[in-house]
Structure 1
């Protein structure tokens, strides 16, 4: 009998757990190399594109900012819905603005379940504002602002029948960029969603948010100016990416690649998909980056209304008339909740200040998701972004004030299911500035330290510009800058080049990977060597995390030792002065609020049946904190069935009636009968509709029931009994008139 050649299975069975594990390790390693090959080929494919992006959907160019009078490398693209999905032209469009912080555009449409994806599923037309890798010569942040304003004008013109202005979504640095535009062109915006966007740059908690110390430890923004000068007027966006990666060395150096290697059978497609975005870098003009660092990262001027444009316009976020939805996460180490929400505490002196500005602010704080997950994670898109998209009209008509979006799962027991959009029930519950303070934990000592950083930065930048910059610019040429960048690119691209198809050996790896897949023998989960492997990995992660924690602790100690110094604070003039302007407490602001309150009180008795109906509904709903989406959807159907009032007009009506109830509850309620029609049938139908809307969430509180009973009495027709002896006099007066 001829001898048979032992198979791989025979070998692993004969060798026991060790052979089984070693076979799996070799196979995983080959598959890992093949994934790295695919990543490298994808990198060069992206690099060769004029406008590399990761948008999953097809799109068409609408406007090109590079052709404008003041050219800018931003583009407006219409996103086409996938096959089988139709959008409603009557619904407000969604416009997603991606961050220009080192990476290319498209992250807002990275997956089917993404910001753009859920918007189109909800029936909204969708647009993306993206950008090319290279900025235009002389391009500034203000040029970007003006370009984005033109883009929004175009979107509005393309949807003249839409009910409401565009909902604009700004991711990370795209968020503060959107708010800059909204502060000077508020008429262009519907609701604004800022996801993982830093707005208050000094905010944070000691021991938890070390990234904010970077500017102070560098001595301020002079290092940014030096980097721009060495780049001959360009700032390498790869430096921003390096800063992000340095925040979590265990993930950068080990976990990301170990997860791929250990789960290579399933992890490969996800890894390649993400690296398509993460691996490509874009540049900014040096002037753009300097503006960002001076005004935002170090200066913190956005949250204190100190930024003034070149034509003299003050950028004050209190000028925004659209609702602002701030979505952040406790698991975000780049934009923690303190930096996402601190601007509210910085700008407004009281809850009445928010209302007097006619401002609606909604916030949602996720417990665990990381920075990129806020606008990349499919799970987040299916929950938070889906609920924002489905309930954007409700958010748009919320009365002025501060709210938290609270989401609970929809179950089979949930009442009025037809009025629930999606798998979650969203409720907007009123909050106060005290709730924001509890999250932000503002500290005068912290503000004084960063005010000192700002002064030191201004001094160091002035010294650099007067004493060093002329020499740097004299020696740096475009050729030397290109050569320096080329050397850095070669170091960065070396891993891609080794694993790419340009390396002849990788063709053999591709063939070997196909053979491995055909003979794949994954190790059993209970193999003791797999457990040992996991222990080794955990040890490496723990060591790198320990290094990170010690590094961050040392950074904080050094920062506090320098900028907590009374001597330094006295030298730069921050020892006794107010650390930062407080716009909400300015005397002229307080006077404006008082005048606005008086104006609103004067109109409490004005109005007709519409005003009475909305006021009555608000009176009942305010007895139960929060606004449930079911109540709004029921009210919206009533509005459509009756008079077809436009959403904008309805929004204004709700706000006016809400103010009347806040400023003078008793007077506003007492005025309702005089605003109602005389017809008893109309009054009864109106009251029935209010009852149906108030009970839409299936839970009527005792106070709501009490207010409904009160309204029932007020809605009774008022019969006037006129004494007979006085009737002739009134009749004469009527005839004379």
Structure 2
């Protein structure tokens, strides 16, 4: 059948209807036959051109994958860097290295500012996501003038490498950065992304005082947590029978776990995005999307390995065992790792749109570890959390909009966070009115509002589903023991290193990149055709009816795949609960301790512990009248921050300026300021009335009282207005300082 015959049969009825003056054609389009025919041919040409350019982009992606591997898969940073330390040479070697990131032209770094250390996740992909473009965590830090360091890792782990070796290397990195910047008042701020977040938290608990503020972004600290009907990834361990599958994959890899398996799990979470939305977005915007697509794929297509020791400990302690928040992780000496030992302020960044680490998994550890906001204050801890509404997991690290807003605001406020009074806060970022200023610091205003444990619990739908995870933990232990005793030895005996390497190369993710590269001769024509197509590109008009139909078809495909995902996830959840529920395995295979912890049980102290606590509180109250101007000033600031329902960054900046201008306060070091604010805020929290009434003893002269009160008023006016709550606090302070009576 010739093209002319097809054209006549397809458009014949159209021509007849058009000649007879019909209002509609056989396809239901209210267009003359000639216009529809032109629209069809324009769309056909555009489709052909887009197809050629699309497959050429996929060919380039495959080549980038091969080139990156040939180069040793270096970090995909958008900045030049130099290696400071290589942990492969340490006495306890690990495949990690510390990089000093070099600023771009126009960026000025002040060595006296607090250094930042960005640690990328080792969860399948390679390093670089925290600095893969200028609008990133690395870029924000450098633009703010902070010395910036990056912790990278190599594709191959060192033989018999453990998480303890990695922790020792990272501790050495932080010590090195601290020594490189002795003039900096603050210790290095460490940012941990995803998996690196809980690793940094564990290190901060093992080495208290090692680092400054800790920022964890999208980090799964409470893996059992989640919302009923969502977050299906937490059920996979139980449905697979526990950690024995991890041991099997490691043995098939010759003692190494292939990170491509983790990436495949991520891709299965959202089949619509993996199978259709991402490639269709490239295809439909091929003229301006290729560069961004290839930039991201350079990171996404890098797969790194972990040792069996590392991966099994991660799965057993974190994913299946949920031991980190419960104090169940054991150190080399046998002591339990306790997150309460962390002394550095902690900033938690989570998003409601994150389907890998939802807010419950990022925040519920606070409830489990401390139980109450009073316990947080008792330990002198400061915890700040930030909630984004809808950004996805990767967007937390790579989104330019997030870098320009959340990461920028965190960076700007990090010194203030370091001296916030102990307690739980939410960092609320508000957009400033239009015309407020062109600088990034003028676009948003951050406010630190006190929160309670109840506020975190409200993000969850209850902890009943956590009860189901106690029995899978025991099933996992039994299955793993059976595998290691009867199956594992046979697998390890049969798998040689060449076979393990072959299995890795045949992994579907790796294989598709090879097949869609220049290693495949069938892809060569696209390299020749793409430049010609680009030169004679004829994009179709946006109102073309066939393009509209294409978009409707795309929406339908996404809808179908989303329905499949929802059905699959619901079935997995139902199956998980049917197997491990209280009327199934959970009826006789559970651990009482796990069940109690899963219920967010309140902290119960023994009589001796309570007596010691009461005695310590009385000693603190007994020191309320001890001190001078510095203590009085710190108590006034704490009263203003805690009594007015929070404080914003403009008010904090004003407080810094007035302090630096005062002869009795400007010589205080950051450690002295932190100590004063923690002590005085604790007094205000224990007994606010007595703390305020005893201010007069700390500020005996009328001049000192007026001076301190005026400085407090300047802080309240930092954002240009004194609100009602602040005015109430100022009036109370004025009365306690007897200023009105003196006037």
User: TM-score, with normalisation over the residues of structure 1?
Assistant: 0.91
Deviation for aligned residue 1:676: 1.5
Q: In 1, Cα distance between the equivalents of 2:439 and 2:523? A: 56
SS at match of 1:607: coil
Deviations 1:509-554 (A, max 9, x none): 2332222222211101111001110111111111211111111111
Deviation for aligned residue 1:715: 4.0
Q: In 1, Cα distance between the equivalents of 2:401 and 2:594? A: 47
CA shift in 2, pair 1:384/1:208, >3 Å: same
Aligned with 2:452 (options 432, 440, 449): 432
CA shift in 2, pair 1:21/1:555, >3 Å: same
Aligned to 1:522: 539
Q: In 1, Cα distance between the equivalents of 2:78 and 2:711? A: 44
Q: In 2, Cα distance between the equivalents of 1:458 and 1:592? A: 39
Aligned with 2:155 (options 126, 133, 137): 133
Q: Are 1:115 and 2:137 counterparts?
A: yes
Deviations 1:353-379 (A, max 9, x none): 111011111111111110000011000
Aligned to 1:587: 605
The range that moved more, 661-670 or 565-574, is: 565-574
Contact 1:60 1:78 in 2 (8 A): yes
Aligned to 2:60: 38
Q: In 2, Cα distance between the equivalents of 1:366 and 1:250? A: 23
Deviation for aligned residue 1:556: 0.9
Q: Any residues of structure 2 matched to 1:637-676 within 5 Å, and which? A: 637-642=657-662, 643-676=666-699
Deviation for aligned residue 1:351: 1.4
Q: Structure 1: 5+ residue runs without aligned partners?
A: 1-11, 721-737
Q: Any residues of structure 2 matched to 1:149-188 within 5 Å, and which? A: 149-188=171-210
Aligned to 2:506: 487
Q: Any residues of structure 2 matched to 1:244-643 within 5 Å, and which? A: 244-411=266-433, 421-443=441-463, 445-488=464-507, 491-503=508-520, 506-574=523-591, 578-580=595-597, 585-587=603-605, 593-642=613-662, 643=666
Q: Any residues of structure 2 matched to 1:199-210 within 5 Å, and which? A: 199-210=221-232
CA shift in 2, pair 1:260/1:97, >3 Å: same
CA shift in 2, pair 1:641/1:608, >3 Å: same
SS at match of 1:391: helix
CA shift in 2, pair 1:81/1:579, >3 Å: same
Deviations 1:289-313 (A, max 9, x none): 0000000000001111111111233
SS at match of 2:532: helix
Q: Structure 2: 5+ residue runs without aligned partners?
A: 1-33
Deviation for aligned residue 1:422: 4.3
Q: Any residues of structure 2 matched to 1:97-112 within 5 Å, and which? A: 97-112=119-134
Aligned to 1:82: 104
The range that moved more, 521-530 or 403-412, is: 403-412
The alignment of Structure 1 onto Structure 2 pairs a total of residues equal to 703
Q: In 1, Cα distance between the equivalents of 2:226 and 2:36? A: 59
Q: In 2, Cα distance between the equivalents of 1:468 and 1:498? A: 34
SS at match of 2:82: strand
Deviations 1:311-339 (A, max 9, x none): 23321111111111111111111001111
Contact 1:451 1:580 in 2 (8 A): no
Aligned to 1:726: none
Aligned to 1:9: none
Q: In 2, Cα distance between the equivalents of 1:563 and 1:600? A: 49
SS at match of 2:445: strand
Contact 2:470 2:595 in 1 (8 A): no
Aligned to 2:8: none
Deviation for aligned residue 1:622: 3.0
Aligned with 1:189 (options 195, 211, 217): 211
Deviations 1:639-687 (A, max 9, x none): 2222232222111111111111111122211221111153x44443333
Q: In 1, Cα distance between the equivalents of 2:49 and 2:612? A: 72
The range that moved more, 609-618 or 55-64, is: 609-618
Contact 2:66 2:514 in 1 (8 A): no
User: TM-score, with normalisation over the residues of structure 2?
Assistant: 0.90
SS at match of 2:68: helix
Contact 2:225 2:364 in 1 (8 A): yes
The range that moved more, 669-678 or 126-135, is: 669-678
CA shift in 2, pair 1:409/1:170, >3 Å: same
Deviation for aligned residue 1:716: 5.3
SS at match of 2:656: helix
The range that moved more, 569-578 or 136-145, is: 569-578
Contact 2:117 2:190 in 1 (8 A): yes
Q: Any residues of structure 2 matched to 1:217-228 within 5 Å, and which? A: 217-228=239-250
Deviation for aligned residue 1:699: 3.0
Q: In 2, Cα distance between the equivalents of 1:189 and 1:349? A: 25
